[in-house]
Chain A
Amino acid sequence: MKPPKFEYHAPTTLDEAVAALGRYGGDAKVLAGGQSLMPLLNFRLARPAALVDLNRIASLAYIREQDGQVRFGAMTRQRTIEFSPVVAQRLPLLKEATRWVGHLPIRTRGTIGGSIAHADPSAEYPAVLAALEGEVVARGAKGDRVIRAADLFQTYLTTSLGSEEILTEVRLPAMPAGAGYALEEFARRHGDFAIVGIAAVVVREGQRCKLARLATAGAGPVPVRLRAAEQILEKDGLGEAAIDAAARKATELVDPDADIHASADYRRHLTGVLTKRALIRAIGVARG
């Protein structure tokens, strides 16, 4: 269980990284925190001709507020996000989700850009990106382009990023002040990938629901926005009957696969259960 041979590049600027990636015509892999790619290399499930390591590009690690968004350099570590006051204030859902990402020594290395570009459907950050309608910036030979969450995730471990593009920035709209939020997840052990997870955001005005957001992890090949369930709350409010109806609707909106961890039926069932739990908790912490 050792990595296969590869050529190794550790550029110190983004331009050099894009140029290095371009030289391999899709046969190179970008190495971010390495918490998913390195195990794949150790198992030799991945055999890239080259690795382009982003860890020496200091300009890719930052958290800044701009235009109502919080923008993260792709190499911002999950552990930095966990302790960031800006994240705690503007994106409390992301802070809560971060506690579910792997374990402490994974989060010291793991990055927000790597997690999203890897696009594991059970991972928490893609679900948060979907729930908050975030976007990412990709840099290729022709320059930057912005990709919305809805256009990013294609299927298991597959995004619309080109093989010669590098995800450089993650942009999440700041949550409205007083928004309720929750991330509910079921895994066999804390720190394992979710069997199913639900990210929820609720903006309330008394019993009225001004805005609801629901997105899944682990309930299909990509994070699923549960728009029809959100609409039930936005139309019928935040009472018990509406929550139950939204949770029921959620189970109809997902098309999970079975694997060694859980059957498709069980995942569908969990989607309803966790949607209800997430909504109750989100509504409980919402002000307004």
Chain B
Amino acid sequence: MVTVRLKINGVAHEGRCEPRKLLVDFIREDLGLTGTHVGCEHGICGACTIMFNGEAARSCIMLAVQADGAELATVEGLMRDGKLHPLQEAFREHHGLQCGFCTPGMLMTALDLLRTNPSPNDREIREGISAVLCRCTGYQGIVNAVRAAAPILASSR
């Protein structure tokens, strides 16, 4: 067993687990943060994408022990003062989700895309979110949402 100490959404946590425990399972089962979803469990679907030390990463192909000392952010950390994050607002406004399964991963991926490319064109948005599979929307609503959120996030920076 190993001890894992990390910060997630600004809150310090500590837990003990086997070294083989996947980070996404640690987040969901040990820390009770079930907003991050488990899809394919082998790094294809992107539903489990979180922020790992400020960058989008797939938590189903990382070990919990690798996050010892790290700062993580998940979908639960996006709301501020009871209000949705501007990217979440845009997803709601532009039909960026239907069933919502991929949405946590889509949001974290799009946040890293907009962090590194604050005003992407549609091709760049599509390339960025191609990391996450969505079966409901046909992606157009997601592209529209990310495009709409970009200037709002850029101006709040």
Contacts and interface: CB of A to CB of B under 8 A. Distances in A.
Q: Do A and B bind each other?
A: yes
A115 to B, nearest CB: 14
B42 A106 contact: no
Given A2-B20, A8-B2, A39-B42, A104 B56 contact: yes
Contact of B112 (A10, A41, A105): A105
Contact of A2 (B22, B43, B128, B131): B22
A109 B58 contact: yes
Contacts of B61: 34-35, 38-39, 42, 109
Q: Is the interface of A mostly helix, strand, loop or mixed?
A: loop
B22 A105 contact: no
A105 B49 contact: yes
Nearest to B25: A2
A53 interface: yes
Interface in A185-233: 189-191
A55 to B, nearest CB: 6
Interface string A99-121: 00011111011000000000000
Interface in A16-69: 34-35, 38-39, 41-43, 51, 53, 55
Nearest to B53: A108
B22 A42 contact: yes
A4 interface: yes
Interface in B68-126: 108-109, 112-113, 116
B22, B42, B57, B65, most chain A CB atoms within 10 A: B57
B12 to A, nearest CB: 20
B130 A189 contact: yes
Contacts of A4: 20
A261 to B, nearest CB: 15
Given A6-B19, A108-B56, A39 B43 contact: yes
A34 B62 contact: yes
Given A6-B20, A38-B62, A190-B127, A105 B2 contact: no
Contacts of A35: 43, 58, 61
B41 A42 contact: yes
Contacts of A103: 46, 130-131
Contacts of B22: 2-3, 42
B14 interface: no
Nearest to A6: B20
Contacts of B116: 83
Contacts of B62: 34, 38, 109
B30 interface: no
A260 interface: no
Nearest to B43: A39
Contacts of A189: 130
Given A5-B18, A5-B20, A34-B62, A105 B57 contact: yes
A41 B109 CA distance: 24
B57 A108 contact: yes
A276 interface: no
Interface of B: 2, 18-20, 22, 25, 41-43, 46, 49, 52, 55-58, 60-63, 65-66, 108-109, 112-113, 116, 127-128, 130-131
Given A2-B41, A108-B112, A109-B62, 9 more contacts: A8-B63, A8-B65, A34-B61, A103-B46, A104-B109, A104-B112, A105-B58, A108-B56, A109-B61
29 contacts: A2-B25, A2-B41, A3-B63, A6-B19, A6-B20, A8-B2, A8-B20, A34-B63, A34-B66, A38-B60, A39-B43, A39-B61, A42-B42, A42-B60, A55-B66, A79-B55, A83-B116, A102-B131, A103-B46, A105-B55, A105-B57, A105-B108, A105-B109, A108-B55, A108-B56, A109-B52, A109-B58, A190-B127, A191-B130
